[in-house]
Amino acid sequence: MRLTEKVHTILTNHLQQGDQAIDATAGNGYDTLFLAEQVGPSGKVIAIDIQDCAIRSTQEKLDSAGLIDRVRLVADDHALVLRKLIEANREKIAAITFNLGYLPGSDKSIQTHAESTEEALAVSIQLLCPGGCLCVTTYRGHSGGAAEAETVEAFMRKSQTEGHTVDCYIPESSNSPPILWVLKKS
Ligand SMILES: C[S@@+](CC[C@H](N)C(=O)[O-])C[C@H]1O[C@@H](n2cnc3c(N)ncnc32)[C@H](O)[C@@H]1O
């Protein structure tokens, strides 16, 4: 099973109608569309991406599916956006997803970076409700990817010592496969 499918399987069992969820790296909108389906008409999704083209692509997908009404799209850096959400949304979000790296078929120089990713993850913990789920997929094959993956691993190990439940999935492969981290907030 691909890690993107694994994330969807985990969140299908976790999310309920009426929940609030965040896609912190909207990209082409596959995860945003999935989250919008899971939270239902009474739920809400916030989808963030630093690239306008990604936000447009996500909007088109949601328009086609008739689900745009339950999604708020934000074109900006996720650490910045998540920080602004804290005051009104502390411990209210049921699930947050990060699919790190760059947008396939787009400008590869626009990619997530260890420093802002670490900040965005720390804020995510504050936004998650107790029992809330944080899914983070890291890629090690591109420049900067290995350093970012190490930062995410250190964040997850520290979170585990703080009482959160952390699982890690690595597909069998000889060549630096992606890693999925799943944190359940205590
Ligand atoms: C691997 S893609 C995400 C794929 C997406 N989940 C999907 O379903 O199509 C990573 C995305 O992160 C975005 N990104 C990079 N740095 C970012 C940042 N600081 N804040 C928000 N998004 C960022 C990129 O523009 C890119 O679209």
CA of 41 to the centre of ligand 1 (A): 25
Please identify, in words, the CATH class of the domain defined by 3-184: alpha beta
Q: Tell me the CA distances in angstroms from 43 to 50, 95, 119, one per residue in order.
A: 24, 12, 26
Q: Whose CA is nearest to atom 19 of ligand 1?
A: 77
pLDDT at 5 over 90: yes
CA distance 101 to 142: 8
pLDDT in tens, 127-147: 999 999 999 999 999 999 999
pLDDT in tens, 100-113: 999 998 889 999 99
Q: How confident is the model at residue 174 (pLDDT cuts 50, 70, 90)?
A: confident
CA of 123 to the centre of ligand 1 (A): 17
Q: Tell me the CA distances in angstroms from 101 to 26, 111, 127, 147, 181, one per residue in order.
A: 12, 5, 22, 12, 15
Model pTM score: 0.98
Domain ranges of the chain: 3-184
CA of 86 to the centre of ligand 1 (A): 21
